[in-house]
């Protein structure tokens, strides 16, 4: 038996990921002692708001019909469970909790880059389980995550971390 997901469901997951990201960056901005870092993390939180609106528009253009991917559920179950259980979607409070737990700036950057990479991986892997017609829209969502990785990496380098 194949695995069935709709592009719309992926869009819903993307929206939750962005909500978690927004909470994560807002918490980092709140706890930062430096104006430059507060501004940077606030910028990223604001970008998550922009992404939320964009992703809602994209989600509404994605297919609501499930696509039965040619994968056996038993073969894919563990893999999908590992993807879906990642911090990016575990629960709506995960983003803020991860930011609060970061003991220093380097750890915060590691967590932020890791979350963005996990999101990017998720979108690329989920394309295996949705209609091919939805791939360009999901790729557009993934591109936003790439931009955050670039921003975070550049800021980290500027800070000498």
Confidence check: pLDDT of 70 > 60 = no
- Spatial distance between the Cα atoms of 136 and 47, rounded to a whole number of angstroms: 21
Residue with tokens 């993807």, as numbered in its chain: 83
Q: What average pLDDT does range 58-78 have in this prediction?
A: 60
What H or E segment, with its residue span, contains residue 74? helix 73-84
Give strand pairing partners of 4. 68
First to last CA, the chain: 48
- CATH number, domain of 80, equals 1.20.1260.10
Model confidence band, residue 37 (pLDDT cutoffs 50, 70, 90): very high
Model confidence band, residue 129 (pLDDT cutoffs 50, 70, 90): low
Q: Which domain holds residue 117?
A: 3-159
Instruction: Output the pTM of the full model.
Output: 0.77
Residue-level pLDDT at 6: 65
Neighbours of 1 (CB within 10 A): 8
Token pair, residue 102, equals: 């970061």
Domain count of the chain?
A: 1
Greater model confidence, 62 or 99: 99
């Amino acid at each position: 038996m194949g695995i069935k997901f709709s592009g719309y469901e992926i869009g819903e997951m993307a929206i939750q990921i962005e909500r978690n990201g927004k909470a994560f960056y807002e918490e980092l901005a709140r706890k930062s002692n430096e104006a430059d870092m507060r501004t940077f993390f606030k910028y990223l939180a604001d970008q998550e708001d922009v992404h939320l609106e964009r992703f809602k528009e994209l989600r509404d253009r994605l297919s609501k019909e499930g696509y039965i991917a040619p994968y056996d559920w038993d073969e894919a179950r563990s893999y999908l469970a590992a993807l879906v259980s990642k911090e990016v979607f575990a629960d709506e409070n995960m983003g803020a909790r991860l930011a609060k737990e970061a003991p220093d700036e380097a750890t915060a950057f590691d967590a932020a880059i890791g979350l963005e990479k996990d999101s990017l991986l998720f979108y690329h892997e989920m394309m295996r389980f949705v209609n091919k017609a939805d791939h360009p829209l999901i790729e557009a969502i993934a591109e936003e995550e790439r931009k955050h990785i670039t921003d975070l990496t550049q800021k980290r380098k500027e800070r000498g971390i």
